[in-house]
Amino acid sequence: MKVLPMECVTMKGELAERANANFARLELAEYAPDRLFQPAGYSWPGDFEGRTILAWVLLSRATGKDALFLEEVLEKLPGYYNERGYLGMIHPKGTLDEQQLSGHSWLLRGLCEYYEWKRDSRVYGWIGNIVRGLLLPAAGIYAGYPISPGERRQEGEAIGELTGEKIGAWYVSSDIGCAFIMLDGATHAYSIMPSPELKELIEEMIARFTDIDFIGVSMQTHATLSALRGMLRFYSFHPQEDLLQEINRIYQLYRQTAMTDNYENFNWFGRPDWTESCAVIDSFMVSFELWRITDDPGCLGDAEHILLNGMGYGQRPGGGFGCNVCASGGHHELKPHPDLYEAYWCCSMRGGEGLARAVEYAFLQDSETIRLPFYHKATVKTSWDDESIAFTVETSYPIEGETAIKIESSTLKQARKFQLYIPAWVDPSDVKLSLNGEAVPSEVADGFASCEGLFREGDVIRLSFPVGLRREQAMQGDERSVTYRHGALLLGADGELYVAACEHKVNDDPRGTGSQEAPIYLGDGEYLFQSSQIKLSPVNRLFYKTTEEAKQDHKMVIFP
């Protein structure tokens, strides 16, 4: 089942608001052409430029708006290439700079997305130059990438730097494993210009990557998840069961050991120093693509929680994205990192792809079915050969479980099916589905309820299921640690009462904390325990605060 092209969807509501805010952020001074291109000595050549181009292209498609600086930047880009057609210095033959490879993965991704959109022959040539000049010379060298824990210094700052060490053929980074971010760019280039040589190099990269002891070497999770996205793309061309098993193994390792309780990440395996929205967005894409391949409802559930809670908390009021304190294990508080409130040099641009992919992932289609794996307000137009349909989606989700699909126009000649996502925490017996007011059998299969018909203009499909307070065991805490959710939304205790919330005991009633008192539902996903005045509210509302309020935000999200 394929995603609908973004041009088929006019997104409305919160997702559109967040995407537009991020797009506006990426057109401020830091991203203007006179500041976008980095100096010759920049230690991440291609990174800043590539992430920005990628975000501009995808947000243009997702919002229908032209990117203010995109065409000017592409005009100027060749003037910054070295004589071999890429950015940065030319290293001696047989040596590789992993930060240069990592940065050029983003540049390849941006150029590939632009080429697939516009079919610009000059951009196709630039992609080929990077592949021939920088990437293919890495053949035979990736197999010797240093993966021994004893070889790598397990320390690093928010912006990784070359350590000054050369291990074998490699100039290595404090962002351990960032060389494998190039799996994403290499496989994207391969999708456009496949060759036996590039395929062999990708297979060499995958073989070395899957040999890594991710925890032992303290691998960067952003690099890990970007590499998994590349492996998933390669799997789409060359499906092999052992490759899929490796992808799933590594994703589950990440999920079990390095995902926080608001679905963000440890920046490195084994080091919960801070979260990084770049990796959170990678995890959203990996979990969704794994679901598409495997039909595992757990992967789709992960994608929904990552989008609502991880990305939801990571986006700032100005539209950019930043880093947060890890809410996991011994640290029960969630708050923006005091020194990394917005990572404009990486996370804000990755937010562009994340939000654009959320638009792209909202609707899928095959020869018989339109599937909604998420609920967003939108208008959609799509077709099958000479048949077409247009519809609007109105929804109160994730606060309430009410969604309506209204058919605006239809030339269907045969019956088609709408499949609507039912979260795993919903009791299937509570699901209500109707067509024009008449109940439709709402059997849930593989996480979806279905409504089939020869839909005509004016038809209305309605879905309803209850959304309320839930208690779940914490992902990274001990067995007695719990989190509270309103449906899929993680809840936290606000402000000065979070210490009281931490000390408040939990009884066996999932609706209550402390005494036998049941919380009062205040609406909008918020709850109040009257005796303690502890208020629980969704954590994903940082975006709607003022900048000063957001910087001071802190929530207790893991409870004893």
CA–CA gap between residue 332 and residue 506 (Å, rounded): 15
CA distances from 375 to 14, 50, 371, 420, 495 (A): 11, 31, 11, 9, 30
Nearest to 207 by CA among 231, 223, 226: 231
At 494, is the pLDDT very low, low, confident or very high (cuts 50, 70, 90)? confident
Per-residue pLDDT of 263-319, as tens digits, reads 999 999 998 989 999 999 999 999 999 999 999 999 999 999 999 999 999 999 999
3-state secondary structure of 302: helix
What's the predicted TM-score (pTM) here? 0.95
**Alpha-carbon torsion (338, 538, 264, 373), positive or negative:** negative
At 41, is the pLDDT very low, low, confident or very high (cuts 50, 70, 90)? confident
Per-residue pLDDT of 498-522, as tens digits, reads 555 445 444 444 444 444 578 899 9
Helix, strand, coil shares, percent, the chain, to 5: 40, 20, 35
Residue with tokens 């989606």: 393
Average pLDDT of the segment spanning 333-339:
92
Residue 97, pLDDT score = 96
CA–CA gap between residue 205 and residue 218 (Å, rounded): 19
CA–CA gap between residue 335 and residue 197 (Å, rounded): 47
pLDDT at 159 over 80: no
pLDDT at 207 over 80: yes
3-state secondary structure of 536: strand
Count other Cβ atoms within 10 Å, centred on residue 300.
Answer: 25
**Alpha-carbon torsion (256, 259, 260, 261), positive or negative:** negative
Question: DSSP string covering 413-479, please?
Answer: SS-EEEEEE--TTS-GGG-EEEETTEE----EETTEEEEEE---TT-EEEEE----EEEEE-SSS-T
Nearest to 237 by CA among 177, 196, 178, 205: 196
Question: Who's near 171: CB < 8 A, 6+ residues apart?
Answer: 91, 95, 96, 97, 98, 99, 162, 165
Question: Who's near 557: CB < 8 A, 6+ residues apart?
Answer: 261, 262, 327, 332, 333, 334, 483, 490, 491, 492, 493, 539
Average pLDDT, the chain: 93
pLDDT at 479 over 70: yes
My answer on whether omega of the bond before 398 falls inside 30° of 0, hence cis, is: yes
Lowest mean pLDDT among 36-40, 347-351, 372-376, 432-436: 36-40
Q: How far is CA 25 from the centre of its chain?
A: 18
Average pLDDT of the segment spanning 85-97:
95
CA–CA gap between residue 66 and residue 73 (Å, rounded): 13
Domains of the chain plus CATH, in order, are 19-145+160-209 (no CATH), 369-464 (2.60.40.1180)
Per-residue pLDDT of 160-187, as tens digits, reads 677 778 999 999 998 999 999 999 999 9
pLDDT at 496 over 60: no
Residue 476, pLDDT score = 79
Tokens describing residue 150: 């004893």
